[in-house]
Chain A
Amino acid sequence: MAEQDLELTGWRRWLASIGDQCVFFTRFLRNIFTGGFEWSEFVRQCYEIGYRSMMLVGITSFIMGAVLILQLRPSMVQFGQEGLLPKTLAVSLIREIGPVITALICAGKIASGIGAELGSMKVTEQIDAMEVAGANPIQYLVVTRILAVTFMVPLLTIIGDVIGLFGGFLALNFTDSVSYSLYFNKIVASIDYSDFLPAFVKTIFFGFAIGFVGCYKGFNSNKGTESVGVAANSAVVTASLWVFVIDALAVQITSVLFYK
């Protein structure tokens, strides 16, 4: 890219970037299956990416669950349907709000982190040094990170959903008195696999998009300290955009498959 950047402008540059991303994707795919898989780095990334994001996802999901209940309650009371609050929360949280909020948090935290980390490694010649030291940087840095994010975002979403539902339970008990067993029985009774499965599948794509964008932006940053910030910023913006695009596509596919 760096060489092309000097000559290409406008739509040609955009097309070159698309081509470059396709090449990067092919290299990623090829390196999953060839050579040894970097298990220790993959586990380390799962810890760094997943475990270290858990607190943030947990707090956000807890607040989202509580706020949704507090916002929904007056309207539901107006229609005498406060009994539907657990169901409404469960469906909205599991189908849409949980996955999207978790993905956006991960886009902000993880994509920018990966973009900045790989960008600074590029600037300080660490990626070149890795290559000279006999490691395949795509295998060591890119494959492990993309797969770790793809693996951890669905897990974080499930954890976030559970914490969000618990937040909703506590919020509901500010004003009403609902037992723990009644609340969760209502939730379990109101959701089926068509709520959970499509949401879970789309989080896998969210995770992949976040990891891929972060790695691509970091790996292809130019050699200058300014480009580290650009890579991090651009990774967040692009990954967030992809989350919405995937969500829009997912809702269409889910509608056709599950809610005819």
Chain B
Amino acid sequence: MEEVKEQKKAASKPKAEVVISIKGLKKSFGKKHVLTDINLEVHRGENVVVLGKSGEGKSVTIECIVGLLVPDAGSLKVFGDEVTKMNDNELKALRMKIGFLFQSGALFDSMTVRENLEFPLTRILKMKDKREIDERVNEVLEGVGLTDAVDKLPSDLSGGMRKRIGLARTLIIKPEIMLYDEPTTGLDPITSREISELILDMQKKYKTTSIIITHDMECARITSDRVVIMDDGKYIAEGTFNTLHKSNNEIARSFFKDIS
């Protein structure tokens, strides 16, 4: 992988603890090799943006991290524990520390916003105190600016509102790691920017470590501490947004060509 480093920053900033470590990750679907050799380390408090073309398998990596998909080969450690060797209970314990924002928001259609938000609290955290649950629900709804939507059904919400509620649902368990699967896809530029800024605000508020899968360059610019570029099932370039912007790598340049 071509590494494009900002010399000054790299020298001055001490490396934090590695919370996600991926080595030689491979995943195929039938004859299609989606991940051929993924290597990545994400440090505590860092926002890593993964850029890549549609259908390249960017989402597959984060689905492996959370145990929704099982990789064919390679090592995938989260907080030092090998995810591929975890049993159901260990996976459940890991998911208490990971929030996953799905591309579509994935709100449960049959439940109101309140029920959607209460779902992970009662399932993952096994919370029973109604007052405590209400406090958490109100806190995250205030965070995403949608306190009025608490009793609405997902079908009554706009695309941007669904994404915000989806974000609130993942943040309600106060995860240490956030995985975002194309958080701004299908949204207008203004709402996209709002969501990107919200991601950044929430990261500062909850001190999360994040991997953000996107092909929205504005989202990448706003949210990233580091950007990796995926091509042909592996990461081919890595660096900060500004350094990759000036990179000579042909694929990196194709992503940044419209950025002034």
A residues contacting B by CB (< 8 A) are 2-7, 120-121, 124-126, 128-135
Contacts and interface: CB of A to CB of B under 8 A. Distances in A.
A6 B98 contact: no
Interface in B18-72: 29-32, 63, 66, 68
In the complex, the 10 A-B pairs of residues with the closest C-beta atoms, listed nearest first: A6-B30, A134-B124, A129-B106, A134-B123, A133-B120, A125-B106, A125-B102, A132-B100, A135-B123, A7-B30
Given A6-B32, A120-B109, A132-B98, 11 more contacts: A5-B30, A121-B108, A125-B103, A128-B63, A128-B106, A130-B119, A131-B68, A132-B66, A134-B92, A134-B124, A135-B123
Nearest to A8: B30
21 contacts: A2-B29, A5-B30, A7-B30, A7-B31, A120-B109, A121-B108, A121-B109, A124-B104, A126-B106, A126-B108, A128-B106, A129-B100, A129-B106, A129-B107, A130-B108, A132-B66, A132-B95, A132-B100, A133-B119, A133-B124, A135-B123
Contacts of A131: 68
A124 B106 CA distance: 6
B68 A133 contact: no
B29 A6 contact: yes
Interface of A is mostly: helix
Given A134-B95, A134-B96, A134-B123, A128 B68 contact: yes
A260 B100 CA distance: 62
Contacts of B120: 133-134
B125 to A, nearest CB: 8
Contacts of A130: 108, 119
B169 to A, nearest CB: 7
B208 to A, nearest CB: 15
